[in-house]
């Protein structure tokens, strides 16, 4: 898809402020649909440009919000046409890999993977706590990856009905379909997600989790692997997109960090939030004594320990920039 950021920048002064009010929620919707925060940004830009061009003829025939969602849905469906689904490494292989250097031989392009998104880009800042909890769970990596198994229109129906709480007749109008068709698509989508274990469940972050995260940051920066491994479940897993490999135990994760991953020693780390979870931005040491962006680690916590860690590596030196994370650990993060 051709980027439209420059186009939108050129018309920003002419956009009705009411269009921009919906930008964050549209980004969240497009992210769930597309599995990529970067594709979602493009889709929202395209949505706003189309809305800007047609705004004079809109004339309030429906609510502005539903009109924007119709445009965004069509943009996403166009993007998804003929495209392979995005995945996580554990989706591709039923067995964990050995923590050896040779595991790095299997690599796929960025377009193959579900990508991360910072919470601040897609989740509401305030509002009803129950709705915020649903929104947070609906951007978790496992749920977003499960969504990619659904046909695009089923995906849209499920998101509009179960996440955004639209009525069936509203969804039917948006998709130019019937209520019966929408209800049938929703039933099939729910069944598919349930069979895959992709139904979101609320997992609140409590004081014990905050203590765990503080110990995680401390162990990582000191590179105390014994202390680090003690924070993981024995059967903890770790993905490392863009590599196909994944590790299936705390022991293997520790072995990796002391072996192929030993270049991460003396890293700097910062706590943030991504995909409805705690996340850790990591800057790895460079030859000149500085630090450069290396990975965003999205953490899943269960029963007081870390169950899953998805490490999105910034091998192309653009992940942090595109997410709005600072280029160095001492810099201020980008606004957004």
Q: What is the CATH number of the domain that holds 136?
A: 1.10.10.10
> When comparing pLDDT for 131 and 40, which is higher?
40
Residue 215: inside a domain, yes or no?
A: yes
Strand order in the sheet with 246-247: 246-247, 232-239, 305-313, 291-302, 277-285, 268-274
| 190 and 259 in a common domain | no
Mean pLDDT of 110-120: 96
pLDDT-based confidence at residue 128 (cuts at 50, 70, 90):
confident
| 220 and 195 in a common domain | no
Residue 117: inside a domain, yes or no?
A: no
> When comparing pLDDT for 62 and 329, which is higher?
329
| 256 and 195 in a common domain | no
Q: What is the pLDDT of residues 179-238, one digit of tens each?
A: 999 999 999 999 999 998 777 766 665 667 999 999 999 999 999 999 999 999 999 999
| 235 and 179 in a common domain | no
Strands (E), 9-87: none
- Check residue 5 and give its pLDDT: 47
Euclidean distance between CA atoms 98 and 44, whole angstroms: 40
| 219 and 173 in a common domain | no
Q: 261-277 b/e with 16+ CB inside 10 Å = b?
A: beebeebbbeebebbbb
| 243 and 186 in a common domain | no
CB of 207 closer than 8 Å to CB of 178 = no
Residue 332: inside a domain, yes or no?
A: no
Q: What is the CATH number of the domain that holds 17?
A: 1.10.1740.10
Degrees, nearest 5: CA angle 136-159-272? 20
- Check residue 47 and give its pLDDT: 96
Closest by CA to 243, choosing from 118, 102, 89, is 89
| 190 and 139 in a common domain | yes
CB of 270 closer than 8 Å to CB of 329 = yes
Residue 300: inside a domain, yes or no?
A: yes
Residue 93: inside a domain, yes or no?
A: no
| 76 and 4 in a common domain | yes
Q: What is the CATH number of the domain that holds 224?
A: 3.10.450.50
Q: In this structure, are strands 268-274 and 277-285 parallel, antiparallel, or unpaired?
A: antiparallel
| 171 and 212 in a common domain | no
Residue 49: inside a domain, yes or no?
A: yes
Strands (E), the chain: 232-239, 246-247, 268-274, 277-285, 291-302, 305-313
Domain boundary among the residues 183, 199, 215 is at 199
Residue 115: inside a domain, yes or no?
A: no
Tokens 């929408």 found at: 182
Number of domains into which the chain is organized: 3
Full residue range of the structural domain in which residue 9 is found? 1-82
| 217 and 289 in a common domain | yes
Q: What is the pLDDT of residues 143-180, one digit of tens each?
A: 999 999 999 999 999 999 999 999 999 999 999 999 99
| 284 and 253 in a common domain | yes
Residue 92: inside a domain, yes or no?
A: no
CB of 298 closer than 8 Å to CB of 116 = yes
């Amino acid at each position: 898809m051709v980027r439209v950021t420059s186009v939108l920048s050129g018309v920003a002064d002419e956009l009705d402020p009411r269009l921009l009010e919906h930008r964050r929620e549209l980004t969240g919707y497009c992210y769930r649909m597309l599995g990529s925060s970067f594709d979602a940004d493009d889709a929202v830009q395209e949505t706003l440009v189309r809305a800007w061009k047609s705004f004079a003829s809109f004339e309030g025939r429906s609510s502005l919000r539903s009109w924007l969602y119709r445009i965004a849905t069509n943009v996403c469906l166009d993007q998804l046409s003929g495209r392979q689904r995005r995945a996580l490494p554990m989706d591709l292989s039923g067995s964990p890999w050995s923590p050896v250097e040779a595991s790095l031989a299997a690599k796929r392009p960025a377009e193959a993977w579900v990508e991360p998104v910072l919470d601040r880009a897609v989740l509401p800042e305030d509002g009803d706590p129950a709705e915020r909890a649903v929104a947070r769970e609906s951007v978790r990596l496992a749920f977003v990856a499960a969504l990619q198994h659904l046909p695009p229109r089923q995906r849209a129906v499920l998101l509009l009905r179960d996440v955004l709480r639209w009525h069936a007749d509203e969804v039917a109008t948006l998709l130019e379909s019937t209520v019966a068709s929408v209800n049938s698509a929703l039933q099939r989508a729910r069944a598919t997600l349930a069979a895959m274990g992709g139904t979101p469940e609320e997992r609140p972050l409590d004081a014990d989790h905050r203590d765990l995260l503080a110990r995680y940051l401390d162990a990582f920066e000191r590179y105390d692997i014994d202390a680090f491994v003690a924070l993981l479940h024995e059967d903890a897993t770790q993905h490392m997109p863009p590599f196909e490999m994944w590790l299936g135990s705390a022991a293997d994760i520790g072995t990796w960090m002391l072996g192929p991953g030993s270049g991460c020693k003396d890293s700097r780390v910062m706590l943030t939030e991504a995909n409805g979870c705690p996340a850790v931005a990591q800057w790895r040491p460079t030859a000149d004594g500085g630090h450069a962006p290396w990975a965003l680690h999205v953490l899943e916590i269960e029963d007081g320990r870390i169950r899953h860690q998805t490490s999105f590596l910034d091998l192309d030196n653009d992940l942090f920039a595109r997410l709005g994370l600072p280029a160095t650990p001492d810099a201020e993060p980008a606004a957004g």
